[in-house]
Structure 1
Amino acid sequence: MSATRREVLARTGALGAGIAFTGALSELFAGTAAAQSLGHTGYGALVPDPDGLLDLPRGFHYRVLSREGDDLRSGEGRVPSNHDGMSAFPGRHGRTHLVRNHENRADGRVPVPTVKGLTYDPEGKGGCTALELDSRNHVLSERVAVAGTAVNCAGGPTPWHTWLTCEETEDRAGTNGYTKDHGFIFEVDPVEPHRTGAVPLTAMGRFQHEAIAVDPRRGVVYETEDAFERPFGLFYRFLPEKPLGGRGSLRAGGRLQAMRVPGVPDLSSIQETGATFDRIEWVDVPDPLADGTPIRFQDFGRGGITHAQKLEGCYWGGRSVYFVSSFAHSDEGSAADHYGQIWRYDPERRRLTLVIVFGPDTDVQLPGESPDNICLAPSGGLMVCEDGNGAQHVFGVTRRGEVYAMARGAQNIGTEEEPEWGEFAGVTFSPDGDTMYVNCYTPGTTFAVTGPWRR
């Protein structure tokens, strides 16, 4: 994708223009003039950062909390690379605890340092780090939270204030030098990581995990699978033996199920926002550990199972779980094309609704392609991290269905002739809602963004 048109939009301020939509978001970015004629929603146009790190609306400011390659304050080694999923937890005396994933593969640039009692597989380069911040977002400590895992992409928080980090791989022992099987979820205590250690939650399945969300009333854990090839990934739920049992309770096991939408083998075939499906079915996974066959290949009996390409972000909001399909390409085996979907599942009604669609009628050289991590904003809307080509953004979606650019990456990791920008990931808010934390994947950078959020 050419970045030229994006740069023009950035100069004109169109990237800060919010556009109300009715129906599919394919109508959103039809042209710069139309976008500008609607005026600004959100917080206004993005202002280029003179320091070349992060463009924000006027009145907002950022602090760099951590960058890959710097020394960890714990003295355990260097800050690992590939900053990905993240969450914020309340601490004592107004402090905030951040837990941050590092999606390092076997050849990760800066691996997560191995630490005794926190390392699953000494040959795994991924894991998590934990930061403690004071009330003004000054870093008080930074340390390893779990190590020896692999391709820690996203995850999600639990109601008891721990973090579930997800391995986005199915590599077995003996592959890529690993000494143990991978593809699991691990629980991380952000305050004292040694309380949770490095124990895989095997009952939650072994597959290419992406993200999770926990139903805070029932304790059900929803899981997304970001499979790269056909058959594509599934949307799962885990029914714990000890729902809402607190730290360590998920080790007691439970039942893993996959979602079946009757008559819909591939979610990409659904293109109209507002499309709703009732009587969603949940089917037991035959072999959660995938000892012989990856789960998405397994036999789910009559009616099959429902797949979707690039299932990524997952978040609980209100009485529903939201999850993202980042894109679907028919030339890669999907039933139809899109540049992103956001779905909502209401467990009380057993109802699935397509909330937002990006493309393919959208001009993909305009913002709004390939949504990834999502979270609820203090205003009640959504924040969505973009993971596509060209310029990279954090987008807001208001309660009224308006989309606006909240942040744009300014760190050029390409060349002047062919610029590139690292994707955003791990967007989350402080417990008081006054700070947005977000990662740039490459170069690994963690930002704290403050400003008039309540305006």
Structure 2
Amino acid sequence: MLARTGAAGAGIAFAGAFSELFASSAAATQSMGRGAGYGPLVPDPDHVLDLPEGFSYRVLSRTGEPLRSGEGLVPQACDGMAAFAGPRGGVILVRNHENRTTAEHKVPTVEGITYDPAGGGGCTAIHLDRRGNVVGEHVAVAGTAINCAGGPSPWDTWLTCEETEDKAGMNGHTKDHGFIFEVSGADPRSTGAVPLTAMGRFAHEAVAFDPHNGVVYETEDAFVYPFGLFYRFLPEKPLGGVGSLRAGGTLQAMRVPGVPDLSAVTETGAVFRNIEWIDVPDPLATTTSIRDQDFGPGGITHGQKLEGCYWGGHNVYFVSSFARTQDGSTATHHGQVWRYDPDARTLTLVIVFGPDTNPQNPGDEPDNITLAPGGGLMLCEDSGGEQHVFGLTRRGEVYPMARNRQNIGTPEAPEYGEFAGVTFAPDGGTMYVNAYTPGTTFAVTGPWKK
């Protein structure tokens, strides 16, 4: 979505109702009209993180350092993350680690919360006191694989998603992977390491709950043909609290009549009615990937790189990061945002993104996105060159919020790891974000209410 840029900002050419993206931000209208952003980024003399004047960062955790629990070292590949209210005004961060079996710093295996001892991924939890000091850090689930994103539950647990379809015997794994796991950062043993098999086995990306009825929406990040599907899970025990998703339910995939490929839709504001939900024939993908299964007459609707997913107002929003005809998509785009209205059973193409400069090097929709408490969105950049956290206002203005200065290349050919897992404290006073490589978790404070 964002073109490669320097510290001054970024340019976006887009069409559609941009304000639509902020439907679930109650404060979105309060901070508009006073200029975008917080000013230019100030170079960090320590070459770690550039921020606007008045903001500061604290490093909470680094890959390779000892976990405070004594369970081992902080794992690598820090990815999706969420912040929950902790005891006595503190905060608990639950952080994904997108590790494979070949990772140098895997998530340490811990008895009672390890799924597959051969798996390298999982989650860790960081406990902060009310002053933002780290008072604990421990493994929250282990033995999973390629934990990319996920989403919070209405009862303050984290649903971590495996972005893989590896089965037992593949890449050293001893169990099937491609599941969602429920994780409690406060009490990991209360959730254990139990795959939520009824929610499907596929390359999961993100989830979002309908807070009114407990339906869970899921995206599938598939960038090779056949592309991913958009799912909904109808739980047997909706809104039942910790562990209730283990009771099972029905997994369905979205069918848009007459639209086999979402990339074919190019007109923003296009509305499709009478959306259908088709039961998934084999949610465990025993022999065939779900996206390649037979959904009967009419087929099923696919989309390349279905990633971000969040609930806003009375609708669920999901992102197709990009589509490319050379990969098998019907058309090329640089990012779509879709809105599904479950009451009206309509699907609307809200916005289509694209660069206004250098069309040969457009960059893609960031993986991680969050609503900012002061209005607008924060997005993690994942492209080449310099890496930023960008803010977006309701009017579509883009401004830089942070720049990763940790050079993982050479002085002659610098490289910088992507950002991931941007999230805010429950009180909105601190932004937390990960540098994927080198694995670093930051707390950023400053005049957010400005």
**1:327 Cα deviation from its structure 2 partner:** 1.7
Taking a change above 3 Å as real, the CA distance of residues 415 and 432 of structure 1, as seen in their structure-2 partners, is same
Matched, 1:403 2:414: no
Measured against aligned partners, the alpha-carbon deviations of 1:121-172 in whole angstroms (never above 9, x if no partner) come to 1100100001111122211100000001111111110000000011111111
**Correspondence for 1:34:** none
**Correspondence for 1:187:** 182
Query: Are the equivalent residues in 2 in contact too, given 1:338–1:360 (CA < 8 A)?
Result: no
**1:361 Cα deviation from its structure 2 partner:** 5.6
**Correspondence for 1:276:** 271
**Correspondence for 1:238:** 233
Measured against aligned partners, the alpha-carbon deviations of 1:365-394 in whole angstroms (never above 9, x if no partner) come to 888633211121113422222222222222
Out of 125-134 and 313-322, give the one that drifted further. Answer: 313-322
Out of 170-179 and 276-285, give the one that drifted further. Answer: 276-285
* 1:57-206 to 2 correspondences below 5 Å: 57-206=52-201
**Correspondence for 1:300:** 295
How far apart, in 1, do the equivalents of 2:14 and 2:303 lie?
A: 24
**1:21 Cα deviation from its structure 2 partner:** 6.0
**1:24 Cα deviation from its structure 2 partner:** 8.9
* 1:225-374 to 2 correspondences below 5 Å: 225-359=220-354, 362-363=357-358, 369-374=364-369
**1:397 Cα deviation from its structure 2 partner:** 2.3
**1:93 Cα deviation from its structure 2 partner:** 1.1
- What stretches of structure 2 of length at least 5 have no aligned partner? 19-32
Query: Are the equivalent residues in 2 in contact too, given 1:46–1:55 (CA < 8 A)?
Result: yes
Query: Are the equivalent residues in 1 in contact too, given 2:13–2:353 (CA < 8 A)?
Result: no
**1:89 Cα deviation from its structure 2 partner:** 0.5
Out of 399-408 and 232-241, give the one that drifted further. Answer: 399-408
Measured against aligned partners, the alpha-carbon deviations of 1:320-343 in whole angstroms (never above 9, x if no partner) come to 222222222111111122222222
What letter is aligned with 2:404?
A: G
How far apart, in 2, do the equivalents of 1:366 and 1:434 lie?
A: 35
How far apart, in 2, do the equivalents of 1:137 and 1:50 lie?
A: 23
Identity %: 73
Matched, 1:215 2:215: no
SS in 1 for 2:108: coil
Query: Are the equivalent residues in 2 in contact too, given 1:358–1:369 (CA < 8 A)?
Result: no
How far apart, in 1, do the equivalents of 2:12 and 2:291 lie?
A: 38
* 1:29-44 to 2 correspondences below 5 Å: 40-44=35-39
Query: Are the equivalent residues in 2 in contact too, given 1:170–1:182 (CA < 8 A)?
Result: yes
Query: Are the equivalent residues in 2 in contact too, given 1:20–1:403 (CA < 8 A)?
Result: no
**Correspondence for 1:413:** 408
**Correspondence for 2:30:** none
**1:408 Cα deviation from its structure 2 partner:** 2.0
SS in 1 for 2:367: strand
Out of 342-351 and 254-263, give the one that drifted further. Answer: 342-351
Taking a change above 3 Å as real, the CA distance of residues 353 and 408 of structure 1, as seen in their structure-2 partners, is farther
Greater relative contact order, per chain length (Cα 8 Å cut-off, separation 6+): 2
Q: Of 359, 379, 383, which aligns to 1:384?
A: 379
How far apart, in 2, do the equivalents of 1:433 and 1:259 lie?
A: 34
Taking a change above 3 Å as real, the CA distance of residues 20 and 331 of structure 1, as seen in their structure-2 partners, is closer
**1:396 Cα deviation from its structure 2 partner:** 2.1
Measured against aligned partners, the alpha-carbon deviations of 1:299-319 in whole angstroms (never above 9, x if no partner) come to 111211111111112222222
How far apart, in 1, do the equivalents of 2:420 and 2:9 lie?
A: 23
How far apart, in 2, do the equivalents of 1:160 and 1:300 lie?
A: 33
How far apart, in 1, do the equivalents of 2:435 and 2:269 lie?
A: 32
**Correspondence for 2:444:** 449
What letter is aligned with 1:91?
A: G
Report the RMSD for the aligned CA atoms in angstroms. Answer: 2.2
SS in 2 for 1:324: strand
How far apart, in 2, do the equivalents of 1:103 and 1:147 lie?
A: 11
**1:440 Cα deviation from its structure 2 partner:** 1.0
Taking a change above 3 Å as real, the CA distance of residues 212 and 133 of structure 1, as seen in their structure-2 partners, is same
What letter is aligned with 2:408?
A: I
SS in 1 for 2:245: helix
Measured against aligned partners, the alpha-carbon deviations of 1:157-198 in whole angstroms (never above 9, x if no partner) come to 000000001111111111111111111000001100001100
Taking a change above 3 Å as real, the CA distance of residues 71 and 364 of structure 1, as seen in their structure-2 partners, is farther
Provide the aligned length of Structure 1 versus Structure 2.
434
Q: Of 47, 69, 74, which aligns to 1:52?
A: 47
Taking a change above 3 Å as real, the CA distance of residues 48 and 358 of structure 1, as seen in their structure-2 partners, is farther
Query: Are the equivalent residues in 2 in contact too, given 1:82–1:103 (CA < 8 A)?
Result: yes
Structure 1 length as normaliser, TM-score? Answer: 0.90
Query: Are the equivalent residues in 2 in contact too, given 1:24–1:358 (CA < 8 A)?
Result: no
Out of 332-341 and 346-355, give the one that drifted further. Answer: 346-355
How far apart, in 1, do the equivalents of 2:277 and 2:375 lie?
A: 29
Query: Are the equivalent residues in 2 in contact too, given 1:24–1:272 (CA < 8 A)?
Result: no
SS in 1 for 2:368: strand
What letter is aligned with 1:257?
A: Q
Query: Are the equivalent residues in 1 in contact too, given 2:13–2:355 (CA < 8 A)?
Result: no
Query: Are the equivalent residues in 1 in contact too, given 2:84–2:426 (CA < 8 A)?
Result: yes
How far apart, in 1, do the equivalents of 2:252 and 2:364 lie?
A: 30
